[in-house]
C-alpha cells in the first residue's frame, strides 16, 4: 500500500504540484509550509501567524497547504489524502501532529507517536468551517489542542472546563442555600405555625406539626378555663356573652377532635383557623363583660400570634423583601409608630 502511494505521489510530483519532499524541506525553516499557488487561500501573514503559534509546541505541530491536485486521481480523496500524509510523515521521521490542507478539497490530519485525538478534533472543526476557510479550521484545531495564541482570544479547553466546573459548584452551593432559606418554605398549607414561639426546625415533619397543633389546642383550652367569664355579672348582654362563649368552646372541641386523630397538613391549616376563630369569640365575650366594644374579627398579630388578635394593618417591609400590609396588635402598632422603645 505504501509502495502504491509512493508511486502515486511520484506521479504527482512530476506535475510540480505539492511534492512531499518540497513540503518537508519547507518545514526546515518554518513549521507551516504554504505552496506558492495556495497563498490566496492562506496568505503569508496568516501563515506567519500560525507558524508563530505552533513554534516550539510539544508535541511538534507541522502544517502544510498544498494544491488539491496533489491528491491525484487514484482512489477516493480520503485514501489519497491519507497516503500523502503518510508520505510526508515518512520523510519527516519525527513524532508529532501533522495537518495538511489540500486546497479547497479536503484537510487531513495525523498524530504520530502522541496521544492526541486529531481525527475527532479535525472532524469537529470541519463541521464549523467551510472548506474555503482553512485558516479558521486550523485555528480551531489548535484551540482544541490548547495551543496558545488564538486570534479570537479564545480560552484553552482545560481552562474552559475548569471555569465550567467552578460555575457549576457555585451554582450548586447557591441552590442549596436558596433551598434551605427559600422565602416560601414556611408559607401555605404545608406547615402549621402555632400561636406560640417555636424554632423553624420544630415544624419540619408532619408528626412535629401535628404535635405543635395539639399543644396549641391545649393552650386554647387553658385560656378558656382561665378566662372564667361569669355570665351572672351582666344581665342585658348575657345571651350574647353566652353565645360567644359557646362558639369559643365549640371551636375548641372541633379543633380537639381533629388533632386527636392523625391530621394532614391541610387539616392542620383548618385547625389553626378554627382556633383563631375560637379565640376571637372568647375575646368578644370578654369585651361584653367588660363593657367595651367587641374586637373586630381579624387575624392574629403578624409579629407574634401569642400577642392575640390584631387591631390594625401596618405597612411593613421585611429585610430583603417588599413592603406589604400586615395585621398587628395594639402593642406592636405602638412600637412601630415610635410610641414605645
CB atoms under 10 Å from CB of 146, counted, come to 15
Is the whole-model pTM more than 0.75?
A: no
Residues 108, 82 contacting (CB under 8 angstroms): yes
**CB under 8 Å, gap of 24 or more: what pairs does 165-172 form?**
none
pLDDT of residue 155: 54
DSSP letters, 121-171, are HHHHHHTTS-TT-HHHHHHHHHHHTT-S--TT-PPPHHHHHHHHHHHHHHH
Alpha helices in 200-292 (DSSP H): 206-227, 238-259, 265-290
**Residue 276 CB contacts under 8 Å (≥ 6 apart), including other chains:** 195, 299, 300
Q: Record the cell numbers describing residue 267, joined without a space.
A: 387539616
Q: Give per-residue pLDDT as tens, 258-294.
A: 999 888 888 887 888 888 888 888 888 888 888 888 8
The DSSP element (H or E) to which 60 belongs, if any, is none
Please identify every stretch of the chain with a pLDDT value under 70, giving residue numbers as ranges: 1-17, 152-161, 176-193, 195, 197-198, 200-201, 229-238, 339-341
Amino acid at each position: 500500500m505504501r509502495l502504491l502511494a509512493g508511486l502515486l505521489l511520484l506521479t504527482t510530483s512530476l506535475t510540480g504540484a505539492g511534492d512531499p519532499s518540497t513540503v518537508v524541506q519547507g518545514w526546515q525553516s518554518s513549521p507551516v509550509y504554504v505552496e506558492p499557488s495556495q497563498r490566496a487561500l492562506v496568505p503569508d501573514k496568516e501563515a506567519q501567524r500560525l507558524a508563530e503559534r505552533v513554534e516550539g509546541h510539544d508535541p511538534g505541530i507541522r502544517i502544510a497547504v498544498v494544491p488539491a491536485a496533489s491528491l491525484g486521481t487514484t482512489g477516493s480523496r480520503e485514501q489519497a489524502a491519507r497516503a500523502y500524509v503518510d508520505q510526508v510523515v515518512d520523510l519527516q521521521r519525527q513524532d508529532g501532529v501533522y495537518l495538511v490542507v489540500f486546497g479547497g478539497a479536503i484537510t487531513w490530519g495525523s498524530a504520530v507517536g502522541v496521544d492526541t485525538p486529531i481525527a475527532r478534533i479535525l472532524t469537529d472543526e470541519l463541521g464549523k468551517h467551510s472548506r474555503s476557510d482553512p485558516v479558521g479550521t486550523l485555528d480551531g484545531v489548535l484551540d482544541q489542542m490548547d495551543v496558545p495564541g488564538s486570534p479570537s482570544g479564545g480560552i484553552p479547553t482545560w481552562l474552559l472546563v475548569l471555569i465550567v466546573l467552578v460555575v457549576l459548584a457555585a451554582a450548586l452551593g447557591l441552590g442549596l442555600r436558596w433551598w434551605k432559606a427559600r422565602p416560601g418554605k414556611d408559607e401555605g398549607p404545608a406547615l402549621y405555625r402555632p400561636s406560640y414561639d417555636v424554632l423553624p426546625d420544630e415544624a419540619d415533619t408532619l408528626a412535629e406539626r401535628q404535635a405543635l397543633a395539639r399543644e396549641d389546642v391545649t393552650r386554647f383550652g387553658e385560656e378558656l378555663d382561665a378566662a372564667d367569664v361569669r355570665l351572672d355579672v351582666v344581665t342585658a348582654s348575657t345571651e350574647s356573652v353566652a353565645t360567644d362563649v359557646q362558639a369559643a368552646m365549640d371551636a375548641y372541641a372541633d379543633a380537639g377532635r381533629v388533632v386527636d386523630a392523625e391530621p394532614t397538613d391541610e387539616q392542620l391549616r383548618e385547625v389553626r383557623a378554627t382556633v383563631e376563630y375560637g379565640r376571637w369569640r372568647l375575646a368578644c365575650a370578654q369585651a361584653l363583660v367588660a363593657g367595651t366594644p367587641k374586637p373586630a374579627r381579624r387575624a392574629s398579630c403578624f409579629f407574634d400570634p401569642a400577642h392575640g388578635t390584631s387591631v390594625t394593618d401596618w405597612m411593613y417591609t421585611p429585610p430583603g423583601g417588599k413592603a406589604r400590609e400586615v395585621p398587628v396588635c395594639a402593642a406592636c402598632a405602638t412600637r412601630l409608630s415610635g410610641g414605645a422603645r
